[in-house]
Structure 1
């Protein structure tokens, strides 16, 4: 069921169709940035209030750390997960520069992990969700989103067809962006098969659309049901 992002899938399909065509470079970048703006708080792109604002503006602290059913994660986990994915892929793999996340951010966020959270158990997801500083989580994701927009604005047609470097995948592993666990390390193989265009089409766009749809569904569930799997 669709809870978030009406029209975004169609825009994403359009982007997928044109993104590797040199003649469509500027149009592709503009469309990416339009989609991206709708997947972050509006202050990231200085645009009008959007669905992400609506999702997050009135959430209570405890609602970030509720796992509605045994098949779900939490809103806090999702925001951490999509922020880390975007930070790692856009900064290290696309821009070939340092990620935003560092020891200072780790302390500000009040977390023990540095990876995307793919391999966390339910207990570990709940611990992360209860401990993480929600205000700093929003600040971190905002910083990641703003950096992505700078990176994409600077791309040229040759960049979009550039393959991911194995050395940059090693940097992600060394920096703790993924772990040696099977449910985490597979990301390196997945990203290693992509070019820059392929990365733009997944971690900062398509993947976020799916996760935010889940968050909107969970928010509705949390506010209409009385029993939850974990809270």
Structure 2
């Protein structure tokens, strides 16, 4: 198995969870927060998608799907185009209310772009520095694993919230 195939397999598993979590849920359930300061399924899926889109576009040197394919406008959220949800307040979390079709549509568009990017990843490329703001600087390999980890955790949280609400 090539590195790119391994990475795509990990992202494909996240895509399966995203689909499983939102399947059959109405807008109200997706926006329900199991506690006053808790994250909704809608926010969790939107956030993990934004992180994947933002971080991999930066590492791959391409424009985010969010802006390149008009998802910022289609989602219609009262948030800046570059907002990924990082450090959102409880009030900001409450703003993210999306339908299942919006969540899956945006995630699938990001997943397709991710897959195209991952096809270009080689073992030699994993050591390329993609973010010098950290000490030590972040390599492509570290960034790819970080995104998979973050997305898997948030997808699992969304599945847990779905279980709480059912």
TM range (shorter): 0.7 to 0.9
- TM-superposition CA deviations, 1:37-73 (whole Å, max 9, x none): 11004xxxxxxxxx44332211121111111024521
Q: Tell me which residue corresponds to 1:35.
A: 10
TM-score, structure 1 normalization: 0.64
Inter-CA distance 33–197: structure 2 relative to 1 (3 Å threshold): same
Unmatched 5+ stretches in structure 2: none
Does the CA-based 8 Å contact 1:191-1:199 persist in structure 2?
no
Which of residues 142, 147, 152 is equivalent to 1:209?
Answer: 152
Does the CA-based 8 Å contact 2:3-2:122 persist in structure 1?
no
Q: Which has the higher contact order (CA 8 A, sep 6+)?
A: 2
SS, match of residue 14 in structure 2: coil
Which of residues 88, 93, 96 is equivalent to 1:120?
Answer: 88
- TM-superposition CA deviations, 1:151-189 (whole Å, max 9, x none): 1111223321100155xxxxxxxxxxxxxxxxxxxxxx4
Count residues with an aligned counterpart: 163
Question: How many Å separate the matches in 1 of 2:6 and 2:75?
Answer: 32
Inter-CA distance 160–57: structure 2 relative to 1 (3 Å threshold): same
Unmatched 5+ stretches in structure 1: 1-25, 42-50, 167-188, 224-231
Q: Tell me which residue corresponds to 1:200.
A: 144
Question: How many Å separate the matches in 1 of 2:157 and 2:113?
Answer: 25
Inter-CA distance 84–68: structure 2 relative to 1 (3 Å threshold): same
TM-score, structure 2 normalization: 0.87
Q: Tell me which residue corresponds to 1:98.
A: 63
